[in-house]
Amino acid sequence: MSIYREYDIRGIFEKELNEATVVRIGYALSKRIEGDHVAVGYDARSHSPVLFEYLVRGLNAGGKKVLDMGMVPTPVNYFTNYQEWDGITPSASVMITGSHNPSEYNGFKITVDKAPFFDEDIYELGHEVEAMDMPREAKRSIMKIDPVTRYVEFMLKEFSHLRGMKERIVYDCGNGVAGIVTERIFNGLGLHVKGIYIDPDGTFPNHHPDPSVEHNLEDIKKLLASEGDIAFAYDGDADRIAVLTHKNNIKGDMMALLYAMKIDNPVVVGDVKCSQVMYDELERCGGKTVMYKTGHSNIKVKMKEVDADLACEVNGHVFFKNRYFGYDDAIYATLRMLELVHDGIDLDAELARLPEVFSTEEINIEATEKEKFKIIEKLKELLQNPPSDFPHIKDIIDVDGVRVVFDTGWGLVRASNTTPALVTRFESTSKEDVKKYETVLNDLIQKAKELL
């Protein structure tokens, strides 16, 4: 059951994602889809085509016909749900991807009726799979489609006004699947570009495809310094982005602030890790903000609920409903950022105007799968009656873990939904206070562990 996560299904190929399990996943999933057609695509990992065949067998056994999109970025997979293919609109899609995980991992991101299939739906699916026998073989039913060309054509039309931009653009695909579309789009728009690690290679020979980790940005930073005006980097399946200038590594929350400049009275959803600066500045400028749980599936559901124009996570997931379909797409986010530059917005100058804050990166604290959520609950109890020397608490936000609001900043402690760990982050307008908040909350975490 450990492969069934809150946002998706993820595990090690063969050891956890083997033939028997994946065929049964396909069959069990087919029973939760009302229509006849499921679109399936996969990333660059060597075992992704193998998992594709297993999944197709299960979907076919459950009476579903498969639209085969081949190797695609995850946003292209999502895009497929909004298109007709010879008169057929998919009722669901499955993206076979390990995202930014090591090369031995793989998994499934599932969309049903244009909405994420996650949380309790995934857990229930897992229990059913574990209890069922292998389904009977059915006749193979599969139809090839070409969503990449359709997607590229869409982007070329939507961003035709960017043709001939003079800025020098550099980018790093990290040997993930972003390169399947980036060259066609950038060249089609006549942009001045230079890319590295463009060819998909699921062994990721140059660096790990996670642009939220500073070490993985070393090569693109060197290229930016010598040959670029702005840089972009993508994760393994191209639903997360890093944006770099000569002065800034722009995180997802600050990207949202910049994007919102071109949206009238925007409604913006941010995750609990986002800077308070983002929330405060958006509200000050006439926007409305909603703080919600981390996780791409959670964010998409909340966006629909509050009719948001835009959403973001600090780690580089950016979601556009304004002029788009409401899912996270690093390629689309690239073009919207280039649009800001094209319109004369100085990204660094805009960021320099914001209030100065000091913040940590995400800091992981080891905790077992069994104990991590229990630690959070115990921490909530301890915060109701904190130690006498504990900083003044202005508010406690428990939408996802615990975000403790202090006089000059905040500290977050939440259970990771993908690893056996607690995730912490701290921010303050004072360099001394951010360290103090980290220290006192870490001490309280330790006490919570001891009391379990």
Give CA separation, 365 vs 112, 141, 324, 406, in Å. Answer: 34, 47, 37, 21
Say whether 45 is catalytic.
no
What does the block give as tokens for 431? 């360099």
What does the block give as tokens for 364? 């992981």
> Strand 310-312's sheet: what is its strand order?
288-292, 267-271, 310-312, 318-320, 327-328
**3-class state of residue 400 by DSSP:** coil
280: left (phi over 0), alpha (psi -120 to 50) or beta: alpha
- Write out the DSSP string of 80-130: HTTS-BTTB--SEEEEE--TTS-TTEEEEEEEETTEE--THHHHHHHHHHH
β partners of residue 70: 41
Given the residues 47, 57, 100, 317, the one annotated as active site: 317
What does the block give as tokens for 224? 């930016």
Given the residues 48, 91, 99, 416, the one annotated as active site: 99
Distance CA 334, CA 171 (A): 10
Distance CA 308, CA 312 (A): 11
What is the residue type of 27?
Y
Say whether 323 is catalytic.
no
Distance CA 25, CA 64 (A): 13
SS3 content of the chain, % helix, strand, coil (to 5): 35, 25, 40
Q: Are strands 92-96 and 168-172 parallel, antiparallel or unpaired?
A: unpaired
For the beta carbon of residue 132, count every other beta carbon within 10 angstroms. 11
List the one residue out of 283, 279, 287 whose CA is nearest residue 357.
Answer: 279
Distance CA 280, CA 259 (A): 15
Say whether 99 is catalytic.
yes
Give CA separation, 265 vs 85, 140, 152, 284, 436, in Å. Answer: 36, 50, 30, 11, 36
Residues carrying an active site annotation: 10, 99, 317
